[in-house]
A and B are shown apart, each in its own frame.
Chain A
Amino acid sequence: MISRETVLKIAKLSRLELSPEEIDLVESQLGRILGYVEMIQGVDTEGVEPTAHVLDVTLPLRPDVPATEVIAPSAFLKAAPDSGYGFFKVPRIVDGGEHGSV
């Protein structure tokens, strides 16, 4: 139902490192689950709108005013797994430029 190659591709997309045993297990488990959910393909949904939001609410908009209750920014850096010089630290980013981001 799902190939090993696909499992690896999805694992990469999700940034999940799987052991060889995990890959095997996932391949069979996901295969079974996908086999089960296939049943929705048989449902006639001609002209049916996908559910956008389950209840009819419009988006509230907030005023452009800074919040009064503020958490000291230093608290966030303290919780970081690795930080330094006031920045969050990560292993060196190799591409040296903007990746897909604006």
Chain B
Amino acid sequence: MNPAVLDRYEPVIGLEVHAQLSTATKMFTAVPYRFGVEPNTLIDPVVLGLPGTLPVVNREAVAFAVKLALAVGGRIRNVSRFARKHYFYPDLPKGYQISQYDEPYCEGGVIEFELPDGTRRNVELTRIHMEEDSGKNMHADDGANFSLVDFNRAGVPLVEIVSEPVMHSAAEAVGYLKALRQILRTLGICDGNLEEGSMRCDANVSIRLRCTQKLGTRTEMKNLNSFKAVSDAIEYEIERQAAVLDEGRGVRQATLLWDPAQGQTKVLRTKEEAEDYRYFPEPDLPPLAIPAEWIESLRGQVPELPLALKDRLISQHQLTPYDAEIFMNNLEVAHYFESCVNLANQPGLAKKVANWILTELMGTFRDTGRIPVRACDLAALMLLVEGGELTGRNAKDVFARMLAGEQNPRELAANLGLLGSVAADGELEMLCRKLIDDNAAQVDKYRKGKTNVMGFFVGEVMKATRGKADAAAVTELLKTLLS
């Protein structure tokens, strides 16, 4: 992005995100949905808009939508309405989409996210509403005079999340999207896959001279199929609009399509060509009631959100932001961590547990998607080390066996002969003195300045004690004896 552009103009960005709800059946009829199956197999008379068919609302879709509203703190309407939005297109079976217009189920709300530099931002939402997805058109190769339509996706439940136009950079837009995606996945209501289209983003972009209040004319961009596309498209459009304004022309209000191959936008429709959607209340669906009791029962099902979790891991367990972020992005591991900490029930142990998990377990988790060690077992292992019954070094050997499936660290360590550590007491001192006496040449070298001989001595002590001595204590003791 040309910095001169940003000196002169402030970009104003709002995002509209459509998220497919991962319910078992579609929004208005009991047909299941899965991505990527044979075309036109997940259909029924209602999906295809056959004459005489009527919509019946999916309770779980409403529940998912309410949970999203709760997660973002939006105001939920106890009574909301569905509406018909009319236009003609092959992938729209009824010639209208059932959506919500002037009475959406949720208004307001906030999404909090972190930029890469760690600063926090809040983006307010205008509204969230429910609607149904359309089918998919496939455009045949150039030269073919036909297009193909697949209605598998038609009727899948969607929520449309509209942000206020309060973002000012591509980075903010991407940060917002990533946070929204994470919320959807944490709630378990949408898998947030931009490439597959279970989450879709349209960006509204305008620019204005810095220090003016009046919003510029905005364009709407579609077909942003990845975070990179979102970022590239927004930056392109900001620069394009800046060039237009610099030439003394005006930005034309239009809907644009992002072409990732060409790296540019092209006009899909201008404002004059915009369709008149002729919204009116859906007569086949009486008003939707979302009573307070239902909302409260759903509130209990809304888990802790990612950023809240991260903040709590830092404040409650004194983790570093870096470590907390890793846990935030791997919720299963985060929950595992907290289980271990609770089971160990030893103040101050949390950081050590975290370090252990991040160094010894994350690799396995990333490779296999599983945590093969029970939380109670890891807790017990950490307690053995903390209590001085097992050295850190030996604990790793024990843990290697636990990763392979063995349980009960105390028993395991005992069987391996590793249990118990040798304290820096008389016995150890005698051992050290003997070693010094038996290795006069090495002692001489050490006193002459070859401090790395220490490693030889420590190694010998460790061998003699079968690793049960604490290496640091041994080093200190030897230093004292050799000085």
Chain A contact residues, CB within 8 Å of chain B: 13, 15, 52-53, 57-67, 70-71, 73, 76-77, 82, 84-93, 95-102
Contacts and interface: CB of A to CB of B under 8 A. Distances in A.
14 contacts: A59-B285, A62-B56, A67-B30, A76-B48, A87-B138, A88-B151, A90-B149, A92-B144, A93-B147, A95-B268, A99-B87, A100-B269, A102-B131, A102-B134
B38 interface: yes
Contacts, number: 140
A59 B287 CA distance: 6
A89 B113 CA distance: 44
Contact of A65 (B30, B57, B62, B268): B30
B91 A101 contact: yes
A90 B139 contact: no
Contact of B60 (A53, A64, A90, A96): A64
Nearest to A99: B89
B289 A88 contact: no
Chief secondary structure at chain A's binding surface: loop
B146 A66 contact: no
Given A52-B287, A67-B44, A92-B144, A62 B149 contact: no
A102 B32 CA distance: 20
Interface string B255-281: 101000000000011000001101001
Contact of A89 (B42, B62, B139, B148): B148
B149 A87 contact: yes
B150 interface: yes
A91 B92 contact: no
A83 to B, nearest CB: 8
Contacts of A70: 44
A93 B137 contact: yes
Contacts of A77: 40
Contact of B281 (A52, A92, A93): A52
B269 A53 contact: no
A34 B147 CA distance: 40
Contacts of B222: 97-98
B133 interface: yes
Nearest to B258: A97
Interface in B10-33: 18, 23-25, 29-32
Interface string B387-419: 000000000000000000000000000000000
Interface string B104-141: 00000000000000000000000000010110011110
B43 A88 contact: no
Contacts of B44: 67, 70-71
A15 B42 CA distance: 29
